Amino acid sequence: MINNSERGLASRLQLLNWGLLAAWAAALCIGLAATDFSLRLESLSAREVLTAPALTMAGLWLMGRGWGERPAFALLALAQIGFLVMFAALLSYIAAGAALPLRDASFVALDRLLGLGWPEHFHFAVARPELLRYAVIFYGMIVVPSFGVPLVLGLTGRYVRLQQFVMAAMLTLCVVIPASALVPALGTYFEFGLPADTEVFRANGYVDQLRDLPMLRDGTLRALDLSKIGGIVTFPSFHAATGILAIWGFWCIWWLRPAALIVNGGMIAATPLVGGHYFVDVLAGGVVAAFAILASKRLSARASGGSRASWQVAQPVQARDLALIP
């Protein structure tokens, strides 16, 4: 059963997340107004424009009915994620337009310092074509957290964890997007002169980025088509961060832990190859996600109002949090 204390805390966190989304929207408006970027409104389809608002309206309608509380929380969280993805994708393109000096050589040096060589990793994978298919499949699993975590946590009544997950995703992107602008990189395939699109393998996550990033940097791409963009971040890796967030999100449901580890662990492992990421990108993404989780727990503790029951739901940072165990 869901107690009133947990329900109240989840509602406060939900309102806080809506406030954070309003700040994201304001940041996007400022970014568009302060730069020469524009949004191609004529290219927007009903899917881009109406999905998140429709989910919001459906969630609010269900919230007013006693039987609809669980799907309401799930749908409202899906709407929040939808708005976040839209705002963050556009802001990542605007941030890339800053065109600061590329840092690929520094990332190569850091990988070597860690004893990791990306070209060796590439040649190892290409020599084993049976691995390439699974790498592409696992990399595409980033859609699982976006839909799976809100649906599962909402429908099973884990409202606090659900809103902490949404908040952690927002906080992660608050770090990832500015970092990608301050230390930009074109990625591994370009740096090492290796093919990202061949007859046996296509690095889907990287090819689209390599198409757009040079044009963002030289100023030839300024009209943003929301239907054709999906984020353009090298360091830190948002794929890796999402994998950590998803594992933590699902961890409170014991029977989903094996699947969460396999799916998201596979996604993280596929990120250097399919996403054209340096290994340090992946490590940094994981670190950012871990701190975002800790921050969401701290904010939950503050929002709990100090009551004993709520404090048990939103515990302060402990050593076990670092292991992503609730």
Consecutive 10-residue averages of pLDDT for the chain (326 residues): 79 95 96 91 65 91 86 96 92 93 95 94 87 88 90 94 96 95 93 86 83 90 83 88 96 94 94 93 96 94 63 41 41
Any idea where the domains of the chain sit in the sequence?
4-323
- Residue 3: exposed, middle, or buried by beta-carbon count in 10 A (0-12, 13-18, 19+)? exposed
What pTM, to 2 d.p., does this model score? 0.89
pLDDT of residue 312: 44
